């Protein structure tokens, strides 16, 4: 047990309320992430030098696809949480499925929902599917970073018991100090992964469709697995076989898919002007 632990900051999960209507940090993180991602995606689509010629995606395409992506994020994220993390509870309380403002979103479900939405949009517009996924991959860490900060503000998804000097006593996790695993994830899934993708983009990765997407999928899978060693498993699931957590189990295939996408992209000749 450490000599001291950091008190959890008293941040109200509700930013501002107007009678029964409330704006929560959690919802604001999603909105801000989508808007910031939209702005950056438009910028990337308009930078021809990043594509070694004419971009296969226009800024107008980004304007149109953002609604598709937002629907995929919300529906997929909620469906993933319901199916993977708490199916028994929602089977008994189906009316709670739509209560999104109390939290309960799965990245892996949101990822699957967004990929499906982007593929359908790209097919409808006749856009390169891999290039569409590449652009989405670059901007996704922004939302991940903001979402993990919102998890910290909500005092949810806390870490395992720890004796490090920066451990926090979370208000709903007992009296023991714990790893601020939400901040670890914000750093790895948000800051580090975003930096890797931006560096790769500046070095011409968009000229090889699928390469950025592969880096994101594999990079997220690795970052999430590392973070899971510090994160307390969901109470209703606990540890799975071999000491794995559900987050690890869902992230392991991402390592294989990411590696396969990188291999495929590097085998194909790059785009030329």
Tens-digit pLDDT profile for residues 69-86: 989 988 888 888 888 888
Q: What is the pLDDT of residue 37?
A: 94
Banded model confidence at residue 127, pLDDT cuts 50, 70, 90:
very high
String of b and e for 238-248 (b: at least 16 CB within 10 Å)?
eeeeeeebbbb
With vertex at residue 142, the alpha carbon angle to CA 137 and CA 144, rounded to the nearest 5 degrees, is 90
- Indicate the average pLDDT of the chain: 90
pLDDT of residue 203 exceeding 80: yes
Report pLDDT digits (tens) over 96-112. 887 766 667 788 888 89
Res 2: pLDDT? 53
Identify the band that residue 190 occupies on the pLDDT scale cut at 50, 70 and 90. Answer: very high
- Interval 127-149 mean pLDDT: 95
Beta bridge partners of 7: 169
Residue 261, pLDDT above cutoff 80: yes
């Amino acid at each position: 047990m450490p000599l001291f632990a950091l008190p959890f900051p008293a941040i109200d999960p509700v930013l501002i309320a107007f009678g029964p209507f409330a704006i929560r940090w959690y919802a604001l993180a999603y909105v801000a992430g989508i808007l910031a991602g939209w702005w950056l995606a438009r910028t990337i689509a308009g930078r021809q030098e990043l594509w070694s010629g004419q971009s296969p995606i226009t800024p107008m395409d980004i304007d149109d696809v953002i609604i598709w992506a937002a629907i995929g994020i919300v529906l997929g994220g909620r469906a993933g949480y319901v199916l993977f993390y708490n199916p028994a509870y929602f089977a008994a309380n189906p009316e709670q499925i739509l209560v999104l403002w109390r939290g309960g979103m799965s990245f892996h479900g949101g990822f699957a929902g967004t990929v499906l939405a982007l593929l359908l949009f790209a097919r409808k517009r006749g856009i390169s599917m891999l290039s569409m996924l590449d652009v989405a991959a670059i901007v996704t860490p922004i939302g991940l970073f903001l979402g993990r900060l919102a998890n910290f503000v909500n005092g949810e998804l806390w870490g395992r018991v720890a004796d490090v000097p920066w451990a926090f006593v979370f208000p709903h996790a007992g009296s023991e100090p714990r790893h601020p695993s939400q901040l670890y994830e914000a750093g790895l899934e948000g800051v580090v992964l975003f930096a890797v993708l931006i560096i790769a983009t500046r070095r011409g990765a968009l000229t090889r469709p699928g390469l950025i997407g592969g880096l994101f999928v594999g990079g997220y899978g690795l970052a999430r697995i590392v973070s899971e060693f510090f994160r307390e498993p969901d109470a209703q699931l606990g540890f799975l076989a071999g000491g794995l957590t559900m987050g690890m189990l869902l992230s392991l295939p991402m390592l294989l898919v990411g590696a396969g996408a990188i291999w495929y992209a590097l085998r194909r000749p790059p785009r030329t002007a």
